[in-house]
Structure 1
Amino acid sequence: MAASLALDPHTSTVALRNYYYLRAGVAAAWVVAAFTAGVSNPVIGAVLLVLYPAWDALANLIDARGAGGYRANRSQVVNAAVSTLAALAMLGSLAVGINAAIGVFGLWAVLAGLLQLITGVRRWRTYGAQWAMILSGGQSVLAGGFFAFMATGPALLSIATVAGYAGFGAFYFLVSALWLTFRKPRNAA
Structure 2
Amino acid sequence: MTDAPSPQSETRWLKSYYTLRFLFSAAWAAGAFAVGGSGVPGIAAALLIAYPAWDALANYLDARRSGGFARNRPQAANAAISFATTVAVVLALGRSTDAVLAVFGIWAIVAGLLQLGAAVSRWKRSGAQWAMILSGAQSALAGGFFVVKAKAGGAPALEMIAGYASIGALYFFISAFWLFAGDRLRRHRHG
Equivalent in the alignment of 1:37: 35
Matched residue type, 2:122: R
- Is residue 12 of structure 2 the alignment partner of residue 14 of structure 1? yes
Give the counterpart letter for 2:172 in structure 1: F
Question: For 1:61-100, what aligned pairs fall within 5 Å after superposition?
Answer: 61-100=60-99
User: How far is the alpha carbon of 1:16 from its aligned partner?
Assistant: 0.9
Deviation of 1:156 (Å): 4.2
Sequence identity percentage: 48
Deviation string, structure 1 residues 153-175 (Cα, Å, up to 9, x no partner): 13242300211100010000010
Render the CA deviation track for 1:40-73: whole Å, top value 9, x for unaligned: 2222112211211111000001111111111110
Q: Tell me the distance in 2 between the aligned counterparts of 1:7 and 1:106.
A: 33
Other-structure match for 2:154? 155
**Counterpart check, 1:126 vs 2:145:** no
CA distance in 2, matches of 1:102, 1:137: 18
Any idea what SS the aligned residue of 2:71 has? helix
CA contact (8 A) 2:59 2:78 kept: yes
How far apart are 1:95 and its partner, in Å? 0.9
* 8 A contact 1:34–1:159 mirrored in 2: yes
Q: How does 1:110-149 map to 2 (within 5 A)?
A: 110-149=109-148
Alignment TM-score, normalising by the size of structure 2 = 0.91
Quick check: 166-175 or 176-185, which moved more? 176-185
Q: Is the Cα–Cα contact under 8 Å of residues 110 and 140 in structure 2 kept in the other structure?
A: yes
Alignment of 1:51-66 (within 5 A): 51-66=50-65
Gap regions ≥5 residues in structure 2: none
Task: Read off the aligned partner of 1:164 and give its amino acid letter.
Answer: G
Partner residue, 2:169:
170
Taking only aligned residues, the RMSD between alpha carbons, in angstroms, comes to 1.7
Amino acid at match of 1:152: K
Counterpart residue type for residue 77 of structure 1: A
Unaligned 5+ residue runs, structure 1? none
The equivalent residue for 2:21 is 23
In the alignment, the residues of structure 2 paired with residue 154 and residue 88 of structure 1 have an alpha-carbon distance, to the nearest angstrom, of 22
| Matches of 1:161 and 1:10, distance apart in 2 | 37
